[in-house]
Structure 1
Amino acid sequence: MECSLSKNSNFIFCGGGSGGHVLPALTLFHYLKKECPDARFISIGSKSGIEKEIFTKNSLEYYSISTGKLRRYFSWQNFLDILRIIKGTVQSFFLLLKWKRAHSVVIATGGFVTVPVVFAAWLQRKKIIVHEQTTRVGLANKICSYFADMVLVTFEDSLKYFPQNKVKHLGYPLREEIFTPIAEETKIKDFTLKDIERPVLFLTGGGNGSKLLNDILDQIRPQIENEFFIVHQCGKAYESEYQSRETPFYKVYGFIGKEMIDLMKTAEVIISRSGAGTVVELMSLGKASIFIPLKIAQKNEQYHNAISAHQILGSKVIEEDELSAESLLEAIEEVRKIGKKSWVKNNPTHVIGNLIKDF
């Protein structure tokens, strides 16, 4: 579909605080950039958050504002953060004046940095679209939904949390690589995926790693290493510790980048935390996986994300309090029996991107 927008059109992305809020925006940026090459793409975030690194690395025009966190409980820090949010709203208001209302749409993907931007955009009557990734709604997106023209959700279960006259269930923006065959040459440091002869077991605690998941793999590794080729994304903080334990069939990486999708396609068993992006990508690949939700996640959102995968694909969910070597070994055997299932055929990125283009 060709872009009907002029080169004066502005797509303004805001979202941050974690990679889970930034990556959907980045996926939509890449799609819209391909469809509307003459449009202008802007990103707004905090001065030092992960969003700054990710957006600037991908050549988005980036502007920083002051931001603070609103808590659902009493804290003296709330008073300081309210002042920061007010400051960020003023900064956002004057920043957004640079771009004409009729030619601009703000796309907010979660995190408290979005609140000042969305409120300022509402004051200027700019078009606003909010995207919610998780099954349980964050406070920032809940606030933003009252000022948005449209709210898009990943999971159908999230529809009930937003104003019914403006919410749509369209799914999660997925990277195009999800729908392409495994690249023959995909290599992760010193090995090529197609050359692995054993079934692959992949464990990841996310980009920062998880000591809990690292430790449990250490416990079961002697029992599974004769059967699997094990790939372990341990987090950069743990990299030197675990790399010293490598064997020909156990490979350790602090962080795995763009090769991650092909690795997930190759793996027979995947053990992971259950952030929304990870869960939806694995569901889209038809992979019944083993999820160990982060216990302290807001509103236990990781648990509910994982339960969605369990209900649809039969993925196994082990809560932190129930995690043991025995429970994990049992889950590994169970997911191997399930095999691959089909869940999604079309990429929601196209649907969401086209809606934004025509909004």
Structure 2
Amino acid sequence: MKKNQIIFTGGGSGGHVVPALTLISKLKSQNFEIIYFGSYTGIESKLTEGKVDRYIGISTGKIRRYLSVENFIDIFKVFIGLIQSLWKIFFLKKGPLVIFSMGGFVSVPVVIAGKLLGAKVFIHEQTTRVGLANKVASKFADKVFVSFEDSLKFFPQGKVQLSGYPVRDIFLDKTIQTKSYKGIDLENKRKPLIFVTGGGNGSKLLNDKIKHNLEHLTGTYDIIHQVGASYIEEYRKLENESYKTADFLGDEMPDIFKAADVVLSRSGAGTVAELMALGKPSLFIPLKIAQKNEQFHNAMAAKESVGSIVVEEDDFGSIDLLATFEKIRALDKDKGPALRNNAVDFLLAQIRASYE
């Protein structure tokens, strides 16, 4: 049976790629040939390795909202990327074709080229605030899907639909597969568990706060702390029976999320959506320098949905961490998951319908 072709694009950060991989994993078993357009050496080239049928690298540049000499250089890179995309898609296209963009500047030339060549163009916006790349790309899109209701107002009303965030299936099942981490039992806990993460690169702000309160906290809690590669040597020396560190967590992270009584985290869209899917109130410290303060708005969506606590960076240093954790533990945990995988089902249905 002839396979349907679909092109995914998006990159610049894992936040654009991970939700794409959630959809890709489903489509691979549904008679689709999956092609991914990304930058030559960006994170998308690494994260998609072995998970797509073909990866095509193109030239990419960043469009800035302010005057910069780099804009003049990057506009040529974007133009080259557009020519490359037109050339590649023209010779790839064997029938109906969907371009599914997850955002990031690498996606813009692919979206424009796809539209010029008659493909159906879908865009997904993961965050509560809209990046410039998706704003530009939306002009060429047939449909724009958003993760949060608050994002609807940023796109043309005739195109935009609320789909939700495509959360991985593992976050919709509260069963814990990983039974322990470095001797801390995740299933039959001897003490309540705190999980701390500042993302894959870690957060000095969160790390320092835990370090300064470590003795106080470990009297009550076990702690698993993703500190980031740059901090692992420093923090590994602090490990004891109740405190374990990691530079980066991969397959273990969903189970640690599930087991944790309290999560202290930055508030990237993926993390927020996953914790909302688990119905787990958390303590979010939004990254102050995030574009359009998007992490703050992501965290506020979780506050409204499951009662998470949001503390801005400037106030984080002065809070009583133990008292705040106890406040989170006292919150109503009977709300259940705030998100279902309706987003995945909905988006897959939109894709399939485009080939009928």
Q: Tell me the TM-score normalised to structure 2 length.
A: 0.95
Structure 1: how far apart are the matches of 2:311 and 2:53? 39
Q: What is residue 21 of structure 1 aligned with on the other side?
A: 16
Report the equivalent of 1:131.
Answer: 124
**Counterparts of 1:254 and 1:195 in 2: how far apart (Å)?**
25
- Report deviation, 1:183: 3.2
Matched, 1:176 2:176: no
Matches within 5 A, 1:273-284: 273-284=266-277
Deviation at 1:327, TM superposition (A): 4.2
- Aligned positions of 1:69-108 closer than 5 A: 69-100=62-93, 102-108=95-101
Partner of 1:121: 114
Q: State yes or no: 1:197 paired with 2:190.
A: yes
Deviations 1:55-74 (A, max 9, x none): 11434421100001011111
- Name the structure 1 match of 2:210: 217
Q: Which amino acid aligns with 2:166?
A: P
Q: Do structure 1's residue 158 and structure 2's residue 151 form an aligned pair?
A: yes
**Aligned-partner SS, 1:56:** coil
Aligned equivalent of 2:312: 319
Write out the 4+ residue segments of structure 1 that deviate beyond 4 Å after TM superposition: 189-192
Name 2:260's counterpart in structure 1. 267
Distance in 1 between residues matched to 2:341 and 2:16, nearest whole Å: 22
Q: 1:185 to 1:140 in 2, by over 3 A?
A: closer
Q: Which residue of 1 aligns with 2:250?
A: 257
Q: Hey, what does 1:303 align to over in structure 2?
A: 296
What fraction of aligned residue pairs are identical, expressed as a percent?
47
After TM superposition, give the deviation of residue 103 of structure 1 in Å. Answer: 2.5
Secondary structure at the residue paired with 1:231?
strand
Task: Quote the Cα distance in structure 2 between the aligned partners of 1:121 and 1:186.
Answer: 46
Query: Which runs of structure 2 are paired with 1:228-247 in the superposition (5 Å)?
Result: 228-247=221-240
Q: More displaced, 141-150 or 327-336?
A: 327-336
Contact 1:229 1:249 in 2 (8 A): yes
Distance (whole Å) between structure 1 residues aligned to residue 278 and residue 81 of structure 2: 39
Change (3 A) 1:189 1:40: farther
**Does the Cα contact within 8 Å between 1:152 and 1:170 map onto a contact in 2?**
yes
Matched AA of 2:302: A
C-alpha root-mean-square deviation of aligned residues, in Å? 1.5
Structure 1: distance between partners of 2:217 and 2:17: 35
Given that residues 174 and 347 in structure 1 are in contact (C-alpha distance below 8 angstroms), is that contact kept between their aligned partners in structure 2?
Answer: no
Is it true that 1:294 corresponds to 2:290 in the alignment?
A: no
For each residue in 1:217-255, what CA deviation from the matched residue of structure 2 results, as whole angstroms up to 9, or x when unmatched?
Answer: 111212110111100001111111111110010000001
* d(CA) in 1 for partners of 2:342, 2:225: 28
Amino acid at match of 1:141: N
Number of residue pairs aligned between Structure 1 and Structure 2: 352
- Residue 3 of structure 1 is matched in structure 2 by none
SS of corresponding position for 2:206: helix
Q: How far is 1:326 from its partner?
A: 2.8
Compute the displacement of 1:333 (Å): 2.0
